[in-house]
Structure 1
Amino acid sequence: MKYTWRWFGPVDKVTVRDALQAGVHGIVSALHHVPTGEAWTVEGIRQRQDEVMAGGLTWDVVESVPVSEDIKTQTGDWRTHVANWQETLRRLSQCGIRTVCYNFMPVLDWTRTDLRWETHQHARAMRFDLPDFVAFDLHILKRPGAAEDYPEALRDEAARRFKAMSDARIAELGRNIGAGLPGSADGYTLDQLLAKLRTYQGIDASRLRGNLVDFLSQVVPVAEEVGINICAHPDDPPWPLLGLPRILSTRDDYAHMLGQVDARANGVTLCSGSLGARPDNDLPQITRDFADRIHFVHLRNVTREADTTPCSFFEDEHLEGGTDMVEVIAALLAEEKRRREEGREDHMIPIRPDHGQEILDDLTRGAQPGYPAIGRLKGLAELRGIERALSHPRLGAIA
Structure 2
Amino acid sequence: MDFKDKIGFIYTWRHFGHNDPLTFEDIKAAGASGIVTALHHIPTGDVWQEDEILKRKNEIEKAGLTWEVVESLPVHENIKKKKNNYKQLIENYKISLINLAKCGVKRVCYNFMPVLDWSRTNLEIRAEDGSIISGFETHVFAAFDLFILKRKGAESDYSEETLKKAEEYFSKIDDAEKKRLLDTILLGLPGSLEAYTLDEFRKALDEYKEINEAALLDNLKEFLKETVPVAEENGILLAVHPDDPPRPLLGLPRVVSSCDNLLEIVNSVDSPSNGITLCTGSLGSGVHNNVTEIASRLARRVNFVHLRNVIVDKEGNFLENHHLEGSVDMYNVVKILLLEQKRRLEEGLENYRMPMRPDHGKMTHFDKEIEKLRNKRFYPGYSYIGRLKGLSELQGLEVGIKYSL
Partner residue, 1:344: 349
Query: C-alpha separation between the residues in 1 aligned to 2:310 and 2:351?
Result: 29
Aligned pair 1:149/2:160, yes or no? no
Q: Note the residue ranges of structure 1 that are not aligned, 5 or more in a row.
A: none
Partner residue, 1:376: 387
> How far apart are residue 280 of structure 1 and its match?
2.4
Q: Which amino acid aligns with 2:380?
A: P
Query: C-alpha separation between the residues in 2 aligned to 1:40 and 1:186?
Result: 21
Query: C-alpha separation between the residues in 2 aligned to 1:28 and 1:243?
Result: 32
Kindly report which structure 2 residues correspond to 1:277-292, keeping only aligned pairs within 5 A, or say none: 277-292=285-300
Aligned pair 1:297/2:302, yes or no? no
> How far apart are residue 111 of structure 1 and its match?
0.8
CA displacement, residues 77-114 of structure 1 (integer Å, 9 cap, x when unaligned): 11111001000000000000110000000000111111
Query: C-alpha separation between the residues in 2 aligned to 1:116 and 1:31?
Result: 28
Q: Is the 8 A contact 2:278 2:302 kept in 1?
A: yes
Partner residue, 2:398: 387
Query: C-alpha separation between the residues in 2 aligned to 1:172 and 1:95?
Result: 42
Q: Is the 8 A contact 1:33 1:184 kept in 2?
A: no
Q: Is the 8 A contact 1:124 1:363 kept in 2?
A: no
Query: C-alpha separation between the residues in 1 aligned to 2:368 and 2:340?
Result: 37
> How far apart are residue 238 of structure 1 and its match?
0.4
Kindly report which structure 2 residues correspond to 1:1-399, keeping only aligned pairs within 5 A, or say none: 1-304=9-312, 306-308=313-315, 311-364=316-369, 365=371, 366-392=377-403, 395=404, 398=405
> How far apart are residue 147 of structure 1 and its match?
1.2
Query: C-alpha separation between the residues in 1 aligned to 2:212 and 2:109?
Result: 24
CA displacement, residues 20-47 of structure 1 (integer Å, 9 cap, x when unaligned): 0000120000011111111111111111
> How far apart are residue 160 of structure 1 and its match?
1.2
Q: Which secondary structure does the structure 2 equivalent of 1:337 belong to?
A: helix
Q: Is the 8 A contact 2:193 2:379 kept in 1?
A: no
Q: Which amino acid aligns with 1:321?
A: G
Question: Normalising to structure 2: TM-score of the pair?
Answer: 0.95
Q: Is the 8 A contact 2:136 2:319 kept in 1?
A: yes
CA displacement, residues 175-220 of structure 1 (integer Å, 9 cap, x when unaligned): 1111221003542111111100000011110111100000000000
Identity value in percent: 46
Q: Is the 8 A contact 1:42 1:92 kept in 2?
A: yes
Q: Note the residue ranges of structure 2 that are not aligned, 5 or more in a row.
A: 1-8, 372-376
CA displacement, residues 262-285 of structure 1 (integer Å, 9 cap, x when unaligned): 111100100000000112211122
Q: Which amino acid aligns with 2:30?
A: A
- Give the root-mean-square deviation of aligned CA atoms: 1.1
Query: C-alpha separation between the residues in 2 aligned to 1:116 and 1:30?
Result: 26
> How far apart are residue 55 of structure 1 and its match?
2.8
> How far apart are residue 11 of structure 1 and its match?
1.3
CA displacement, residues 339-374 of structure 1 (integer Å, 9 cap, x when unaligned): 111111111100000011012401333411100111
Query: C-alpha separation between the residues in 2 aligned to 1:114 and 1:185?
Result: 15
Q: Which amino acid aligns with 1:61?
A: V
Structure 1 pair 186/221, CA: closer, same or farther in 2 (3 Å)? farther
Query: C-alpha separation between the residues in 1 aligned to 2:153 and 2:63?
Result: 51
Query: C-alpha separation between the residues in 1 aligned to 2:183 and 2:197?
Result: 8
Q: Is the 8 A contact 2:81 2:219 kept in 1?
A: yes
Q: Which amino acid aligns with 1:374?
A: I
Q: Which amino acid aligns with 2:355?
A: P
Total equivalences in the alignment:
391
Query: C-alpha separation between the residues in 2 aligned to 1:184 and 1:76?
Result: 26
Query: C-alpha separation between the residues in 1 aligned to 2:241 and 2:214?
Result: 19
